[in-house]
Amino acid sequence: MAPAGGAFAAGLPDFTTVVARVTPIVVNISTTQRLDTLAQDDAPPLGGGDGDDPYDDWYRHFFGALPPAQQRGDGGGALIAESLGSGFIISSDGEILTNYHVIKDAERITVKLNDRRVLPAKVLGVDPPSDLALLKVNAVGLPVAAIGDAGRLRVGQWVLAIGSPFGFDHSVTAGIVSAKGRSIGSEQYVPYIQTDVPINPGNSGGPLFNLEGQVVGINSEIYSRTGGYQGVSFAIPINLAMQVVQQLRQHGHVTRGWLGVNIANLSPDMAASLHLSRPEGALVRGVVPASPAARAGIQAGDVILTYGGASVVSSQALPPLVGSTAVGREVPLTILRDGRREMLRVRIGVLPANAINRPGEAGERYGLFDSLGLAVRSLSGGERRRFHVMTGGVMVERVIQGAARRAGFRRGDVVLMVNGVRVTGRHQFRLLASQLSSTRTVPVLVKRSRQTLFLPLKAGG
């Protein structure tokens, strides 16, 4: 009698055929960034500090030395930082799709093809809000990815990824779709595909395939307490990615639809008070003056139940629907107002640039703060030198009323660690923030000027 495990394994899909077919479209991407020369007295004390700053020992304990590529000099005093990522070919004449964070701030971009050719790449366009970048190499007759439909994915369906984790190019991993339409942190325009496909540093920008060999997503994020894979990965749906590609090809930038509302989820108690059977919909907390929402008659206190015929199951579901709507299109909305359902029609406007690029004032107007009442951003090169933070961390841009203010956060703080988990960037910080408990206080390590301190934080404070 065959063992039970063998019987189970015999029923698993055979990935070999699809892997052989799709591997040629996957590429390895390496980048080089040149950092400004550091003055000797401003150099971060990673290995030989004077011991006066307690941050030095903490940094060495949790971060260790910098990667060799980041320590390598070019002979002129500048530091050269190299990074690795993945991508895939979407046109036979050399267009390549990857994550924006893979090539951000790159001085040089190099693409290695499956046939071992190494080619320089130029950037055709980027879209930071969706974390996408379109590259171009000088080549013809390249194999091209078959584009699938992420909308047809079902939870539990097998998917596989091919990329360059830790620089090991064309590595294959497989798993299932864990959930769809995930909102993670501030990335409100991307309804992520959640999978349990093992994804690690270097997989970013690589394709997520279905068993027909079609690209259904772009591997972009992991949720991790260690920096490595822990069973939860996120991919950008290919449908959204190709909409971005089309605009980058035509215009070099992306224009998004704009409604002009500040929204929140309904609590169960509030849903019951409105005679809703479940807490669904997006509660309008405020309306931007002279916005499309204001012109359509949307008011604070309304609950948006449907948008363009699609159900709005939560406040996180609305921004991707609006953002992907063509500017100028008239869209029907179903709202709940004073216990009655009403139909409104709104003509979608253009999302203002400062709603994306200025997380401070724009956040207060357009609801881009996280649940803690905190707006954060990546650190600039100058800030990294000033605070002696070479990797990771986020800068507190603004603090409004909420748990973060009660915990003592200030504008200008650099957040380094949440409950023992190193903060690698703003996406991961907001994901960590969303996991905090309202009943348990956790320590948050913050760099403030020359001081390093822990702030006691509890969601809901």
Q: What is the pLDDT of residue 187?
A: 55
Is position 39 within any domain?
Answer: no
User: Residue 191's domain spans which residues?
Assistant: 147-251
- How does DSSP assign 45-59, residue by residue? -SSS--S-SHHHHHH
Buried b (16+ CB within 10 A) or exposed e, 420-436: ebbbbbbbbbbbbbeeb
Query: Is 34 contained in some domain?
Result: no
Whether 380 and 423 map to the same domain: the answer is: yes
**Token pair of 414 as six digits:** 């650099």
H/E segment holding residue 160 = strand 158-163
- Look at residue 206 and tell me if it is in a domain: yes
List strand residue ranges (DSSP E) for 199-302, in order: 207-209, 214-222, 233-237, 257-258, 261-264, 282-287
Instruction: For residue 449, count other CB atoms closer than 10 A to its CB.
Output: 10
Task: Record the tokens describing residue 294, joined without a space.
Answer: 């204001």
pLDDT along the chain (461 residues), means of 10: 45 88 95 56 32 38 38 51 86 96 90 94 92 95 96 95 87 94 71 90 92 95 62 91 94 90 83 84 87 92 92 88 92 92 94 54 38 79 81 84 84 88 81 76 86 81 51
In angstroms, the first-to-last Cα distance of the chain is: 59
The DSSP letter of residue 73 is B
Domain at 78, CATH number: 2.40.10.10
pTM listed for this prediction = 0.67
Q: What is the model's pLDDT at position 82? A: 73
Catalytically active residues, by annotation: 101, 131, 204
Please state the domain count of the chain.
4
227 and 292 both lie in a single domain? no
CA–CA separation, 438 and 415 (whole Å): 20
Which residues have CB under 8 Å from 355's CB, separation 6+?
Answer: 258, 362, 365, 366, 368
Question: Strand runs (DSSP E) across 37-157, as ranges?
Answer: 79-89, 95-99, 108-112, 118-127, 132-137, 146-147
Q: Alpha helices of 232-287 — where are they, by DSSP H?
A: 238-251, 268-273
Euclidean distance between CA atoms 188 and 324, whole angstroms? 12
Q: 261 and 233 in one domain?
A: no
The HSE-up count of residue 446 (CA atoms within 13 Å, CB side) is 21
> Encoding tokens for residue 383?
């800030």
pLDDT at position 4: 44
In a domain, 323, yes or no: yes
Of 137, 159, 190, which residue sits at a domain end? 137
Is there a single domain that holds both residue 222 and residue 299? no
- Mark whether 153 and 245 lie in a shared domain: yes
